[in-house]
Amino acid sequence: MTDLLATWYPWIKAFHVMSVIAWMAGLFYLPRLYVYHTETAEPGSASDAMLQVMERKLLRAIMNPAMIATWAFGLALVATPGIVDWSMVWPWTKAASVIAMSGFHMWLSARRKDFVEGQNRFTGRAYRISNEAPTLLMIVIVLSVIVKF
C-alpha cells in the first residue's frame, strides 16, 4: 500500500490542493452570504428564501464534498512514507489548524440551520469578523507546510 501511495504521491497532492482551494472558496464566501442575509433579508421574504437556497447549495454541493476530499487526500499524504516527520512542529500546527478549520465549517453549517429556522442571532459585523478565521488558519497551514516552522 505504501508503494502505491508513493507512486501516486504527485496526483494525491494535486487533488489535495484542488480540494483545499474549493473548500477555502466556500469558507470565504458563506460568511459573506450570511452578512447579506442578516443585513438585507427579513425572515420569510423572497430574498430570505433565495439566500437560503444559495447557502444550502454552497454548503452541500461545494463545501462539504471539498472538505471531505481535503481530509481524504490529506490523510493519504500523511500515510505516504517520508512525507511527514511527526517529531517536527509543523505537522502538529497544520493538523491543529485543519481541525480548527473543520470546526469553523461546522459552525457555519449550524448558522445555516439558524437562518432556516428564522433564528439567526448574529449581526452582519459578527459574520464579517468570523470571515477572518479561515484566513488566519490558512496562513498558519501554508506557513507550516511550506516553511516547516
1 pLDDT higher than 90: no
Average pLDDT of the chain, as a whole number: 96
Q: Quick one: how far is CA 77 from the chain centroid?
A: 18
Q: The whole model's pTM is what? A: 0.93
Scan for cell 464534498, then name that residue.
65
- Mean pLDDT score, 101-126: 97
Structure confidence at residue 149 as a pLDDT band (50, 70, 90): confident
H or E, element range at 145: helix 133-146
Q: Which pLDDT does position 3 carry in this prediction?
A: 86
For residue 59 the three cell numbers come to: 454548503
Identify the burial level of 87 via C-beta atoms within 10 angstroms of its C-beta, where 0-12 means exposed, 13-18 middle and 19 or more buried.
exposed
Q: Give the helix/strand (H/E) hosting 40.
A: helix 2-40
* Predicted local distance difference test score (pLDDT) of residue 41: 94
- Residues 52-109 have pLDDT tens digits of 999 999 999 999 999 999 999 999 999 999 999 999 999 999 999 999 999 999 999 9
Grid cell locating 70: 481535503
